[in-house]
Amino acid sequence: MELIKNLHWRYATKKFDTTKKVSENDLNKIKEAIQLSVSSYGLQLYKVLIIENPEIRERLKSASWNQSQITDASHLFVFCNYTDATPEAIDDFIKHTAETRNLDLERLNGYGDFIKSKLAEKSQEEKTGWLKSQTYLALGNLLSACAELKIDACPMEGFDPKEYNKILGLNKKGLNAYVIATIGYRHFDDYTIGLPKVRKPIDQLFEVL
């Protein structure tokens, strides 16, 4: 599998080459890979911000423990979950499904009601956790796509979501920054280049019942 080779190649890049930028063509491939990510019920209740503006990234750096990847990488991706799964969002999804598959809307209303009923069973805390976890499914596709394109990436939780929300004006949009990733090209001086991967052995990680 080429995927296995690509996953062996990738690592969480700590130092990026500031002189190299991801091409628009490759960026579009990464965006399509994210678009094709799986999500619960297919709702995709998240939004992905791609931060290019250097002034915004400098402000975000101070809210990210001053990690250099924020400003040195080619692009910064901010995966934001919606703070609520509203009935309107589900209705929009059902309408979009009907249009995409050329189906009568009435045929799908039952499915929409089913989704609403299942989400209504969750407490607000459970719903919030569920919404946040969806972003990681999309992040996984970004990492795999970057590995195939030989573009370096670094997923990051080391940032202050509240400050990100404030700087990016996410609260008024019903969004919350949950996980971020920087992409670009590794610097030859990155001390983590070539370090052996530390992973659990297969026989410890998996158990067949």
pLDDT in tens, 95-150: 999 999 999 999 999 999 999 999 999 999 999 999 999 999 999 999 999 999 99
77-91: pLDDT as tens digits? 999 999 999 999 999
Closest CA to 37 of 143, 150, 171: 143
Establish if 39 belongs to a structural domain.
Answer: yes
Residue 196: per-residue pLDDT: 96
pLDDT digits (tens, 9 = 90+) for 39-58: 999 999 999 999 999 999 99
Range of the domain at 177: 2-85+132-186
The whole model's pTM is what? Answer: 0.96
Would you state the pLDDT for residue 176? 98
Q: Report the CATH number that the domain containing residue 61 is assigned in CATH.
A: 3.40.109.10
Per the listing, tokens 């940032």 go with 159
State residue 160's pLDDT score.
98
How many domains are contained in the chain? 1
Question: Domain for residue 206, yes or no?
Answer: no
The confidence score (pLDDT) of residue 15 equals 98
List pLDDT tens digits, range 24-43.
Answer: 999 999 999 999 999 999 99
Residue 102 lies inside a defined structural domain of this protein? no
CA angle 41, 36, 177 (to 5 degrees): 75
> Model confidence over 90-100: pLDDT tens digits?
999 999 999 99
66 vs 33, 153, 171, 178, 191, CA distance in Å? 29, 18, 23, 18, 18
